[in-house]
Amino acid sequence: MFAYVVKRLLSLIPVLVGISMITFLILRLTPGDPAEAYLRLSQIPPTEAAVAAVREELGLDRPLIVQYGDWLVKALTLDFGKSYATHRPVWDEMMFLLPATVQLAGVSLVFTLVLSIPMGIFSALYKDGWFDNFCRFIAFTSAAMPNFWLGFMLMYFFALKLDLLPTLGRGSWAHFILPALTLSFSYIATYVRLLRTSMLENLEQPFVLYARARGLQESLVIGRHVLKNALLPLVTALGMSIGHLLSGSVIVESVFSWPGIGRFCVSAILNRDYPVVQCFVLMMAVVFVIANLFVDIAYAWLDPRIRLKGESS
């Protein structure tokens, strides 16, 4: 297992180099000049002289290959340069903003799991009952409901009308509830449907019949045999969700004024803030690869067939 993990981590190197090159090129092929974007942000007319001065200051007047080489060498020491927009070191900005996003994503993940697993189990066990229909309704609603709208509705009722929760920002743990619920809502619906389907498939399997025939308690049959197997697709989805929760929280961060990385990076994309975008893409690549690695490890733990196959090979 250790060798497998090391191998997977080493495979990150060519992935990151490839991604950095692609990101670097795509950014520069996209219309829009970061120097002009900076001037626009500063409310300075983009005269030729002003643009030239900013381009020189940002090092954009050098050949592309030199710019990339310079960036790559520095990136190896976690020096991702300075943000064009804020003039602060990108790594410092990321490390300052990342904890807020990680906290939000973490709480959302907890919400997702705590709500979706029992709901998924109940939906499967009470197939076509009122609870199953209720969960189906939630799933369809969440698919049709944009995040920002849900965020506003939750804010309107729970913060403004009922005055139960804070409206915006960060501070106490109460500030987590609305943004985390908004962020997790669509995942909850997906996971409930996923777990329900998987549970139903597993309930039909011969090993369930055999377990019951052995006289095992129903709670053991459901919990140890059916649920454990039914969780496999959920684990796969979870691996992808971690990356999405970290990188896709921009709308929730904007609605709830959450000072996280999503908001920062979307404005960086719009402002052609190359160093920020490059760093963000790399970070997300690492997150996705590591999350998938954890998924694979969890798979081996949950499914003995994979574990034993791995050990025998």
Partner 1 sequence: MSETTKALNKCKRVAAVLIAGMLLVSLLAGCGSQSGQTPATEKVLNFSWAKDIGSLNPHMYNPNQMFAQALVYESLVQYSDAGKIVPWLAESWTISPDGKEYIFKLRQDVKFSDGSAFNAAAVKKNFDAVLANGKRHDWLAFIRQIQETQVIDDHTFKLVLKDAYYPVLQELALIRPLRFLAPAAFPDNGNTGKGIKQPVGTGPWVLSEYKQGEVAVFVRNEHYWGPKPKVDKLVIKIIPDSESRVVAFEKQELNLLYGNGSISLDAFKQLQAAGQYETKLSEPLATRVLAINSNKGATKELKVRQALQHAVNKDAFVKGVLFGTEHKADTLLATNFPYCNLGLTPYEYSEDKARALLDEAGWKVVPGRDFREKDGQTLELEFCYESTNAIQKSVGEVLQGDLKKVGIKVKLTGEEQGSIDQRQKDGNFNIIYGDTWGAPYDPHSLVGSMREPAHADYQAQLGLPMKAELDKLASAVLVSTDETKRQELYRQIFTTLHEQAVYLPLSYLANLAVYPKNLSGVAFMGSQYEIPFGTIDIQ
Question: What is the binding site for partner 1 (CB under 8 A)?
Answer: 30-33, 36-51, 53, 57, 85-87, 96-97, 114-115, 118, 121-122, 125, 152, 155-156, 158-160, 162-174, 177, 217-219, 221-222, 254-257, 259, 263-264, 270, 272
Q: Which residues contact 71 (CB under 8 A, 6 or more apart)?
A: 20, 24, 80, 81, 275, 278
Return the number of the residue (30 or 313) whose C-beta is nearest partner 1: 30
SS3 203: helix
C-alpha gyration radius of the chain: 24
Q: Smallest distance from the beta carbon of 5 to partner 1, in angstroms?
A: 34
Q: Smallest distance from the beta carbon of 228 to partner 1, in angstroms?
A: 15
What H or E segment, with its residue span, contains residue 125? helix 90-125
Q: Smallest distance from the beta carbon of 88 to partner 1, in angstroms?
A: 8
Return the number of the residue (33 or 303) whose C-beta is nearest partner 1: 33
Return the number of the residue (193 or 263) whose C-beta is nearest partner 1: 263
> What are the tokens at 302?
């949950």
Q: Smallest distance from the beta carbon of 222 to partner 1, in angstroms?
A: 6
What is the rounded distance in angstroms from the CA atom of residue 12 to the CA atom of residue 14? 6
Q: Smallest distance from the beta carbon of 38 to partner 1, in angstroms?
A: 7
> What are the tokens at 103?
């906290």
Q: Smallest distance from the beta carbon of 147 to partner 1, in angstroms?
A: 12
Picking from 137, 120, 136, the residue whose alpha carbon sits closest to that of residue 233 is 120
Say which residue the tokens 């609870």 belong to. 131
CB hemisphere CA count around 287 (13 angstroms): 19
SS3 85: coil
User: Are 89 and 82 within 8 A, CB to CB?
Assistant: yes
> What are the tokens at 98?
């990342």
